[in-house]
Amino acid sequence: MRRRTTRLGALTVVSGLLLAACGGDDAATGDGGSGDTQEITMWMYPVIFDEADHSAFWDEQVAAFEADNPDIAVKVEIYPWANRDEALGTALAGGTAPDVVYLIPDQIPQYAHTLAPVDEYLDDTALAAYRPNAVESVSMDGQLLGAPILMSINPLVCNKAAFDDVGADYPESWDDLLALAPSFKDAGYDVTNYWGSVDATLNTSFYPLLWQAGGDVFTDDGSAVAFNSPAGVAALSLLVELADGGYVERDLLTTIPAFEQTNTAKGQIGCTWQQVPADLEPFWGEENIVVLPPLRQRESIAYGTVGALSIMADPGDAAADAAGRWVSYVSSEAVTSEYVVASGYFSPYALDDSLYADDTRYAEMETHLDAATAGTPHEHARQVMGLLAPEIQAALTGQKTPEAALADAENAAANLFD
């Protein structure tokens, strides 16, 4: 009997230890172990598609940085794009968040209260040299919450093969696009595409039209939504007209099929503002990619995102200071220029010379960077998308008029601002 009790006791102890091992290890974060070295961790994602190339790039930067800063040890961890918010959120809740993380404007409001402003770590010349729209995309309440390291732009991309086949001129405005639609349909092409699935971001689909029509998602002071406006109605009416006329692929309005099964990938489409040349090149062939200025209604505006490095350590912490020095180093013009060329993006700095002098399509995209916006960061941006996207779908599938759909979305969003 006693032996059994001992065994039971031992088992309980072992189980207890097991549980303890599974628990959080807050004490371990930020401590480099050996005396003076401050260890910091950065979470990155496959911005450079080739994993080996990407790791090599960061290894090189870490080595260069650590040579100048022997008191800091940097660890760069590259995670997949998929489910990155779940992973980051879980790490934050568990006290194992990285010190530095790569974020885009869409994510910044979600994490704003965990981010340290980066302005104080960047030198003034660097801050002044950034493109204003890059800075604006990652600032909230006047604070820069990430140091931009790259920019992207979704210009208008047209399919040369289709235009040659139909014998049409490239569109510049919404009216041009609508005018082309019937002849494209007759020739077996969609004039454009629209990804309407409610879990697809509106940043690349509906919002560019809203901006082109002179509208915006939120009011200037951010106290309410502003999409239920003549500009919003015009943008949604354009989409409804395209959907009703059968000028866009019907399945894309409600589902996200595998890309290679879409008319877009098959080259049965005229133009798109929702895919970039890098997406289309493998399917259309390099020779058929024509990069054009973003469509114009009242203005010519495109969606473009910014990749920024944000600091998650507590301001004033030794880790935050080390993270700041690292971020300042890698967000410099020299390092970012190398990074964006290796990854096929664009510099967040207003450079004197093109980085893509030998590539006409990328050089063309580069000239439109000032017309790119990721929208103004807003704490309710994602919720508003969640309320607006189903209403847009309701309009596209003929259940509601554009006016009613936008009014309903506006009413639903009002609850967020109580």
Partner 1 sequence: MTPSDEPSRARTAQRVLARREARIGLLFVLPAFIVFLAFRFGPAIASMALAFTDYTIGATPNWLGLENFRRMLDDPVFWSALKVTVMFTVMTVPVSLAMSVGMALLVRRAFRGVGLFRSIFFLPVVTSLVLAATVFTWIFSSNGPWSSLMGRLGLPEETWLGNPNLVLPALVVVAVWSRFGYGMLILLARLQDVPRELEEAALTDGANAWQRFRYIVFPQLRPALFFLAVIETTASFQVFDLVYVMTGGGPARASYTLVYELYEQGFRYFNLGYASAIGVALFVMTLVVALIQRWVIGRDR
Query: Interface with partner 1 by CB under 8 A: which residues?
Result: 4, 7-8, 11-12, 15, 18-19, 22, 85-86, 89, 92-93, 97, 110-111, 113-114, 196-200, 250-251, 253-258, 261, 382-383, 386-387, 389-391, 393-394, 397, 399, 412, 415
- Whichever of 306 and 387 has its CB closer to partner 1, that residue is 387
CB of 228 to partner 1, least distance (A): 17
- Whichever of 367 and 399 has its CB closer to partner 1, that residue is 399
- Whichever of 21 and 67 has its CB closer to partner 1, that residue is 21
Q: What is the largest CA-CA distance in the chain?
A: 94
Q: Which residues of 23-59 are buried (b: 16+ CB within 10 A; e: fewer)?
A: eeeeeebbebeeeeebbbbbbbbebbeeeeebeebbe
CB of 93 to partner 1, least distance (A): 6
State both tokens at 279. Answer: 């997406």
CB of 110 to partner 1, least distance (A): 6
CB of 77 to partner 1, least distance (A): 19
121: left (phi over 0), alpha (psi -120 to 50) or beta: alpha
- Whichever of 8 and 63 has its CB closer to partner 1, that residue is 8
Q: What does the alpha-carbon distance between residue 8 and residue 13 come to, in Å, rounded to a whole number? A: 9
State both tokens at 280. Answer: 């289309």
Amino acid letter at 298? R
- Whichever of 15 and 367 has its CB closer to partner 1, that residue is 15
Q: What does the alpha-carbon distance between residue 80 and residue 46 come to, in Å, rounded to a whole number? A: 6
Query: What values do phi and psi take at 148, rounded to 5?
Result: -60, 135
State both tokens at 294. Answer: 């973003």
SS3 372: strand
- Whichever of 46 and 94 has its CB closer to partner 1, that residue is 94
CB of 149 to partner 1, least distance (A): 23
